[in-house]
Structure 1
């Protein structure tokens, strides 16, 4: 079995991409209880470890999962990026920066065949060279590390310009012929616009839909497209993945969660109506989506330790309101049957922190097909 572990698993964007690519995500490590709860609902067969990775050893991970090093094929993960983000303060002393180092420490301890680490483009800034060098020193002797891959999600079939850096490495003794960066860039796919991506979702969202029960609303599958994006939106549900009650609602009743409303004042509604596509509201800083363009990078906002500030959300291109969590999930490349936290705030935070599963699948599919498809 092609067993892998997802470190800093979040809601599960990387996990879903990995499983769709053919891997078996046997373990997920995540400290945030809300993210871990969401991951547990969507990946019930995965063993979940709620611990701080900085306080966790490779041996302890193996003990939790009841496996040996020989059972492990790969490790994936997206170490917290707030310390490196161009949207943040880029604080060299941000303790979250150390978690990037911990990812590679775990790689050194467990020696998987390969690893895939995702982060923001800001991590390549010269000011973080010492942090990168320290992290890579853990794996320099035994791994072939590819040059950083800069991936824009819209180039790989997701309707967002979200651009991230992927660090990919292969164990020199376990994988004799490592892949090269060009092998991954070949996975580009047909682009999907905002208008195409949101087809079939309810457009008129009532501001009183604030409870989780209210957020379950019918969709119109007849409006769905027939391209690869909608195949992933509608189905491709891997065995043992998905919250079964939610999947049943989706398949049998055409209901999706996350259609939460937002209360806007008449003044705000008026301002939003008057905006042109792509124009930013001067007060809220929200940008009106372009129907024939892509969604800008969705932000996560801050955690409770940083004031619990909600990230600015885009405005729907036809309706004078910010988008719903379900619309955000579509724009990030998540399928309709995938469920997030019952509250709007945590849902947006989980989506904003996630790796697009479409991008994750494209990248991990290359690795699976080259080394494990015949196992």
Structure 2
């Protein structure tokens, strides 16, 4: 009875929700995410800003009593169609320390198991960095979910193959009932969108205190950074430029992803939390809205919180980091649609 109700209503619960990229994609595939759990205050505020009736819980997920949460949301065990989320990837990331379970955040992936055990969703979708699949945590996760009756399917998908103008490879883990035939979404092309395609119709970026014509399309690039950017040609990077030594400093030609200007005729390189690419032709960084378009967010999705000045540090997730951390909505939509197809939801 509960599973029939879950299949009928297609209710979903989002964990480690960030700014809501996976929520946007999953919901556009026909699910209805009724609650998102996110600890970061700026990420949680962004979720509230775009909630449309969705409940947002700003809390450390480890402190949640799942049965009480289910009662609060009106979800009985077996009444959830989909559990989805992207636990922190830093413990497994190639650019991080890769400490895995030695990093306290590494064990957060098992919160997906805890919620699955209590709520018994029909299916599970989890996103991680590709390196996660080579870590013992992936094997342990598979074993734990297998004991709950789920069969896990793991693959590395590139968002560029799913209508996203960005080369962004991510590990996607899908859990379906054992014995269910599941196939990951087939890529329909090598790539079909470029940075120029998604940026070309944006108006000029606003400089504070002027309000932007499009939400989050705000530029606060410091003057010193504009000078540095001016030496970089479209599609190239600072260490390859003819900038004077005091500008290049200790960079080497191998630093090809740092201080890079995007190319209008190609997809973007992977957006990252610590680095914001240069605009293809203007001497500035991408605005949060431009980055969001490259991730595949609709302009109606508003990001809240500070915009990080490149020469300073903002605690928690500023707008650029929220965007860079997100799952590209079109990729999430393709995976969620494949799950619905396999389960006839």
The verdict on a shared fold, with TM-score over 0.5 as the criterion, is yes
Q: Does 1:347 align with 2:319?
A: yes
Shift of 1:268: 4.1
Q: TM-score, normalised to structure 1's length?
A: 0.78
Shift of 1:298: 1.1
Q: Which residue in the other structure is 1:109 paired with?
A: 118
SS at match of 2:49: helix
Instruction: Measure, in 1, the Cα distance between the counterparts of 2:160 and 2:27.
Output: 21
Shift of 1:369: 3.7
Q: Which residue in the other structure is 1:178 paired with?
A: 181
Q: Which residue in the other structure is 1:6 paired with?
A: 14
Between the two proteins, the alignment pairs up a number of residues equal to 310
Instruction: Measure, in 1, the Cα distance between the counterparts of 2:43 and 2:37.
Output: 10
Alpha-carbon RMSD across the aligned residues, in angstroms, is 2.0
Select which of 68, 82, 86 maps to 2:76.
68
Instruction: Measure, in 2, the Cα distance between the counterparts of 1:67 and 1:268.
Output: 51
Q: Does the CA-based 8 Å contact 2:128-2:172 persist in structure 1?
A: yes
Instruction: Measure, in 2, the Cα distance between the counterparts of 1:342 and 1:105.
Output: 31
Select which of 164, 169, 173 maps to 2:170.
164
Q: Does 1:297 align with 2:295?
A: no
In structure 2, relative to structure 1, the CA distance for the partners of 1:114 and 1:10 (3 Å cut) is same
Q: Does the CA-based 8 Å contact 1:105-1:135 persist in structure 2?
A: no
SS at match of 2:196: helix
- Superposed, 1:72-111 pairs within 5 Å as 72-92=80-100, 93-111=102-120
Select which of 212, 217, 221 maps to 1:216.
212
Q: Does the CA-based 8 Å contact 2:165-2:191 persist in structure 1?
A: no
SS at match of 2:298: coil
Q: Does the CA-based 8 Å contact 1:144-1:178 persist in structure 2?
A: no
- Superposed, 1:226-241 pairs within 5 Å as none
- Deviations along 1:117-164, whole A, 9 cap, x unmatched? 000112123xx21x2233223211211111x21111111110111110
For structure 1, the 5+ residue unaligned runs are 218-255, 301-310
- Superposed, 1:1-375 pairs within 5 Å as 1-92=9-100, 93-125=102-134, 128-129=135-136, 131-141=137-147, 142-146=149-153, 148-172=154-178, 177-181=180-184, 184-186=185-187, 191-202=192-203, 204-205=204-205, 209-211=207-209, 214-217=210-213, 256-265=214-223, 268-282=225-239, 283=248, 285-300=258-273, 311-345=274-308, 346-373=318-345
Q: Does the CA-based 8 Å contact 2:79-2:119 persist in structure 1?
A: no
Shift of 1:342: 4.2
Shift of 1:270: 4.1
- Deviations along 1:170-198, whole A, 9 cap, x unmatched? 123xxx533133xx224558520011111
Instruction: Measure, in 2, the Cα distance between the counterparts of 1:271 and 1:80.
Output: 32
- Deviations along 1:190-212, whole A, 9 cap, x unmatched? 5200111112112x435xx235x
Instruction: Measure, in 1, the Cα distance between the counterparts of 2:12 and 2:337.
Output: 13
Q: Does the CA-based 8 Å contact 2:261-2:279 persist in structure 1?
A: yes
Q: TM-score, normalised to structure 2's length?
A: 0.84
Instruction: Measure, in 2, the Cα distance between the counterparts of 1:210 and 1:312.
Output: 22
Q: Does the CA-based 8 Å contact 2:113-2:145 persist in structure 1?
A: yes
Instruction: Measure, in 2, the Cα distance between the counterparts of 1:269 and 1:189.
Output: 34
Instruction: Measure, in 2, the Cα distance between the counterparts of 1:210 and 1:372.
Output: 49
For structure 2, the 5+ residue unaligned runs are 1-8, 240-247, 252-257, 309-317
Q: Does the CA-based 8 Å contact 1:57-1:106 persist in structure 2?
A: no
Q: Does the CA-based 8 Å contact 1:215-1:258 persist in structure 2?
A: no
SS at match of 2:33: strand
